[in-house]
Amino acid sequence: MQKASFLPFFFIVPALFVICLTMLLPILLITASSFFDVSIDLNYRFIGIENFIKMFYDTKFLQSLINSVIFVGGSIAGHCIFGLLLAIALMSSVKFREIYRGIALIPWFLCDIMIGVCFIILFTQFGVVNAVLYSLLKTRINWLLSPEWAIWIVTLANIWKATSLYMCIDSSGLASIPKEIIESAELDGAVSLSKYRYVILPLIKPFVLLSLIVSAVGTFNYFGLILVMTRGGPLGSTTVPAFYMYKQTLEYFQIGYASAIGVFIFIVNMVIIALLRRAGAGLI
Amino acid sequence: MLFINSLTGSFNIFSVGLHTFSLERYFVAIQGSGYAYINSLLVAGAAIGINLVVCSLAGYALARFRFFGRSFFMYFIWLTYAMPLISAFVGIFLLFKFLNLLNNLFALALVCAAMSTPVNTWMAIGYFNTIPKEIEEAALVDGCNVLQIIFQITLPLSAPVLISMATYTFFMSWNEFIIASILITRKELFTYPLALLYVSTSQIAYGGGIVYSIVAAGSVIGTLPVIVIVLFFRKYLVLGFAGGGYKIV
C-alpha cells in the first residue's frame, strides 16, 4: 500500500461531504429543533422537553409503537426466513440460477407506489384474494379497511418487496462457504437436513445477522408502503412512528413534535443495532 | 407468488370493476405525467454522475491507502448503510428549506446520490481490492502520479463495478418518492412517481380518491426502464452485491 500523507483525505472528502449533508446535518437539525416549537415558515420558540413529554402521553404515538412491533417483527421474520430459504433453494439449481435471481430481484426494484397499488388491488373487497376466500369459506374480508388485518397486509407487502435483497446477502454468504467443508460433511454421512443444520447454517450466521440488522433498522425507518397503501390505516392501525412523523410534518405542521419523534426513532435505531450486534457477537 | 403479483400490476389496467379493455388509461397517464419522466431521468442521471465520481474516489482511497482513521471511515460507511435515515426527512426538509433549495432538482439528485453512496463505496472497495496492485505499481514506477493512475488505469479496468454502481444509483433515485415528495412541491418539477400520484388523485370524474387503474397504467410505464435495465445488467447487479464484501459485521 502506498503511504501518502494527505491525499487519501482529499479523496474521501467528497463522499464524506455528501453523507454528512444528508445524514449528519439532518440528525443535528432534528435534535436541535425537537426542543423548539417550530412552525412551517421556520419561526421557532424554545419549549424545552415539552415535545418529548407530549410524545409519551400521546395515545396515537403509543399505538404506533405497538403497530411497529407487528410491522417490524413480522417483516424481520419474513425477510430473514424467506431470504434464507430462497438463497438455499437457489444454491442447488445451477442451471437457471441467474434467471431466477433476476426475477427474484424484481420486487425490490419496483416503485413503492406500484407495489402498494398491486397489493391494494389484490386485497380489495372484490379482489382476487377475496374471490378465493369466498369460494372456500363463503366470506369476504375487507382487508385494508379493517383495523385488525390492515397491518398484516402491509407487513406482507414489505416482506414481498425486500426479501430479494436479503436473498442476495445470504447468497453471497453461501457462496463464501468453501466446497470442501460441505463435501467432507457429506463424506462423513450428513444427510441433507442435518447438513444444513450443523454445517451450513452456523457458517452463514454473520450474514443472517447482517440481514437481521439491516431488516430491523430499515423497516423501522420505512413508511413508503404505508403511505401508499393505507395512509395510516383505519383508526390508526397501520401508523408506525416514522409515518406518524410524516403526518405531523406535512399535515399538522408540528415540525418540533415531529423532530422529537425523529430523535426517538434515531435512538431506537442505535439501540437496535447495538443490541443485535451484542447478541450476534455472542453467537459468532 | 412473485409471478402473479408482478403480473397483476399489468392486468389491472384492463379491468378493475369496470371490465373494459382499453389502452385509454395509458394515454391518460402519459398525458398527465409524461413530462415528469424527463425530470426523473435528469435526477437519476445527475445522481449517477455524482455517485460515480465521489464513490470511486472514496473507494480507491479506502482500498489502496492506509491512513489514520481508515477503519473509522469504513465503519462509518457501514453504519450509514445499516441505518437508512429516511426518517430524518424532517431534517432534510429543514436543511434544504433553510438553504432555499427546496424546489431544486439538483438538490434532490444530491440526496438520492447520498442515499446510495454507502453501498456504492462498498462495491468500489470490494472491486478495487481485486485489481492487482502490481499494475498500479508499475505505472508508479513509470512516473504517473496518483490521479493519472486512477483515471487511466484503475477506472478503465473497473467497468463492471461502475456499471453496478450506476444501476444501483439509478434504481435508488428512480423509485425514491418520499424524499421527492418533501423536497419538490411545484407541479412541473415533479418526478415520475409524484406526477403519477398527482394525476390519479386529480381525476374528479371518478369521485375522488386514487383511481387505481390509471396509477397501474402509469406504473407499468414507469417500470419499463427498470425492467429493461434489470434484464440487461442483471449480471452486474449481482456482482456488485456479492463482491461488496458483506463480511464486515
* Model confidence pLDDT, tens digit, residues B55-76: 888 888 888 777 777 888 888 8
Q: In angstroms, what separates the C-alpha of A176 from chain B's closest C-alpha?
A: 10
Q: Which chain A residues are within 8 Å of B197, Cβ to Cβ?
A: 113
Residue B203: predicted pLDDT: 53
Segment B15-43 mean pLDDT = 65
Residue B7: predicted pLDDT: 53
pLDDT along chain A (284 residues), means of 10: 64 83 84 79 76 85 89 90 83 70 74 76 70 73 77 87 83 79 77 73 82 88 84 80 87 84 88 84 62
Report yes or no: A212 and A166 within 8 Å, Cβ to Cβ: no
pLDDT band at B241 (very low <50, low <70, confident <90, very high): low
Residue entry with cell 464524506: A16
pLDDT band at B205 (very low <50, low <70, confident <90, very high): very low
Tell me how many residue pairs between chain A and chain B have CB atoms under 8 A apart: 249
pLDDT band at B106 (very low <50, low <70, confident <90, very high): confident
B224 CB within 8 Å of a chain A CB: no
Residue B2: predicted pLDDT: 52
pLDDT band at B221 (very low <50, low <70, confident <90, very high): low
- Most A-contacting residue of B7, B8, B64, B85 (CB-CB within 10 A), to test interface: B85
Question: Are A11 and B93 an interchain contact pair (Cβ–Cβ within 8 Å)?
Answer: no
Residue B237: predicted pLDDT: 61
Question: Are A19 and B5 an interchain contact pair (Cβ–Cβ within 8 Å)?
Answer: no
Q: Which chain A residues are within 8 Å of B79, Cβ to Cβ?
A: 273
* Model confidence pLDDT, tens digit, residues B137-161: 888 888 777 777 778 778 888 888 8
Selecting from A105, A114, A265 the residue whose C-beta is nearest the C-beta of B230 gives A105
Report yes or no: A185 and A194 within 8 Å, Cβ to Cβ: no
Does the pTM of the predicted model rise above 0.90? no
Rounded to whole angstroms, what are the CA distances from B72 to A71, A208, A209, B119?
33, 24, 21, 16
Segment B99-121 mean pLDDT = 84
Amino acid at B86: I
Distance CA B228, CA A107 (A): 14
B74 CB within 8 Å of a chain A CB: no
Question: Are B64 and A2 an interchain contact pair (Cβ–Cβ within 8 Å)?
Answer: yes
Q: Which residue of B has its CA nearest to A204?
A: B247
* Model confidence pLDDT, tens digit, residues B157-187: 888 888 888 888 888 888 888 888 888 777 7
Q: Which residue of A has its CA nearest to B64?
A: A1
Beta bridge partners of A44: A38
Residue B95: predicted pLDDT: 84
Residue B82: predicted pLDDT: 76
B246 CB within 8 Å of a chain A CB: yes
- Most A-contacting residue of B19, B40, B62, B83 (CB-CB within 10 A), to test interface: B83
pLDDT band at B246 (very low <50, low <70, confident <90, very high): very low
Rounded to whole angstroms, what are the CA distances from A149 to A75, A117, A142, B98?
15, 17, 9, 41
Selecting from B12, B140, B234 the residue whose C-beta is nearest the C-beta of A102 gives B234
Which residues, numbered 18 to 47 in chain B, qualify as contacts with chain A under a Cβ-Cβ cut-off of 8 Å? none
Residue B233: predicted pLDDT: 67
Task: Name the packing angle between helices B24-64 and B192-201 (round to 10°).
Answer: 150
| Residue whose C-alpha is closest to residue B243's, from A1, A169, A181, A109 | A169
Q: Can you give the three-state secondary structure of chain A, one letter per residue?
A: CECCCCHHHHHHHHHHHHHHHHHHHHHHHHHHHCCEEECCCCCEEECCCHHHHHHHHCHHHHHHHHHHHHHHHHHHHHHHHHHHHHHHHHHHCCCCHHHHHHHHHHHHHCCHHHHHHHHHHHHCCCCHHHHHHHHHHCCCCCHHHCCCCHHHHHHHHHHHHHHHHHHHHHHHHHHCCCHHHHHHHHHCCCCHHHHHHHHHHHHCHHHHHHHHHHHHHHHHCCCHHHHHHCCCCHHHCCCCHHHHHHHHHHCCCCHHHHHHHHHHHHHHHHHHHHHHHHHHHHHC
- Most B-contacting residue of A99, A117, A265, A271 (CB-CB within 10 A), to test interface: A117
Q: In angstroms, what separates the C-alpha of B193 from chain A's closest C-alpha?
A: 7
Q: Is the pLDDT of residue B210 over 70?
A: no
pLDDT band at B83 (very low <50, low <70, confident <90, very high): confident
Over chain B, what is the mean pLDDT? Answer: 73
Q: What share of chain B is helix, strand, coil (3-state, %, to 5)?
A: 80, 0, 20
Question: Are B237 and A105 an interchain contact pair (Cβ–Cβ within 8 Å)?
Answer: yes
Q: Which chain A residues are within 8 Å of B246, Cβ to Cβ?
A: 169, 172-173, 207, 210
Residue entry with cell 434504481: B171
Q: Which residue of B has its CA nearest to A128?
A: B8
Residue B177: predicted pLDDT: 80
Which residues, numbered 150 to 189 in chain B, qualify as contacts with chain A under a Cβ-Cβ cut-off of 8 Å? 171, 174-175, 177-178, 182
Q: Is the pLDDT of residue B249 over 50?
A: no
ipTM above 0.85, yes or no: no
